[in-house]
Copies of this chain bind each other. A is one copy, B any other.
Amino acid sequence: MSEDTEQPSRGPQLSEQVAQRLSDAIQAGEWGRGARLPTEAALGERFGISRSVVREAISMLRNGGLVTSRRGSGSFVAESPTVSLRLAIPDPGLQSVVEVLELRRPLEVEAARLAAERHTPSQLRRIRNAMVDIDEAVEAGLSGVDQDLAFHRAIAEAANNAHFTAVLDFYNRFLHHAIRVTRTNESLREAFMQQVVAEHQAILDAIAGGDADAAACAAATHLAHAEARLRQAPTDLLERVEAQRGSTSTSSTEPTGGNPR
């Protein structure tokens, strides 16, 4: 009655358990980076499962970026393994947007502070260019949402810490979705854009001058105002959200609209 195999506790998903245990083993360093892990047959014997399940498990790790497989050669721990943060795309509504902004505020404030301290000349140039792009887009009758996000991204890049750009990029994806909904609010557009331009200018000046505290303060002010602007048209936003649900194809470069940023 000797059992050499690591007994899998029976649970909902066998392949999932195996994937988890393999992932743990890799992250625990059982096989170093780039190392070849045992053959599918060997792993099947080790875990007491069939090759199918091993393949499903490895498939999960491969999709997760933890391993790569080469036919005829084997499966290898990825040279630069990745971990992934997955987030359900919420129903775009005021509440979820506010929650995202709540997270972004401290990040952007800190990014502005770091940018003031660390920016290179070329990074500063890119921030300036992004501001010009916003102007041009607005004058061309576009919403300028993309350009606005690019402006903030340029600041994050100037912080010279890849994690800031990674997280902010991540959240941009559905902030973009959400903001797009508000951009037809023509009535508020003029007043908004003046404010936005002034606030952007303040951030840029502080960064260019290397004043970290001023940059952080300017960014905080800008984001607080942005949230206030967003709250100003909640009913309109929610209506449009409801209308847009289920539409299969949304053209992504339509003109006009008030941009709360």
Contact = CB atoms under 8 A, between A and B. Distances in A.
Given A110-B105, A163-B99, A86 B82 contact: yes
A250 interface: yes
> How many subunits of this chain does the assembly comprise?
2
Interface string A17-39: 00000000001111110000000
Given A28-B250, A84-B84, A106 B99 contact: no
Interface in A157-187: 161-164, 166-167, 169-171, 173-174, 177
Nearest to A216: B106
Contacts of A100: 163
A79 to B, nearest CB: 9
A10 interface: no
A227 B228 CA distance: 35
Contacts of A52: 52
Contacts of A28: 248-250, 252
A156 to B, nearest CB: 11
Contacts of A31: 248
A60 B86 CA distance: 14
A89 interface: yes
12 contacts: A28-B249, A55-B56, A63-B63, A63-B64, A81-B88, A83-B89, A99-B163, A102-B163, A103-B161, A103-B167, A106-B107, A107-B107
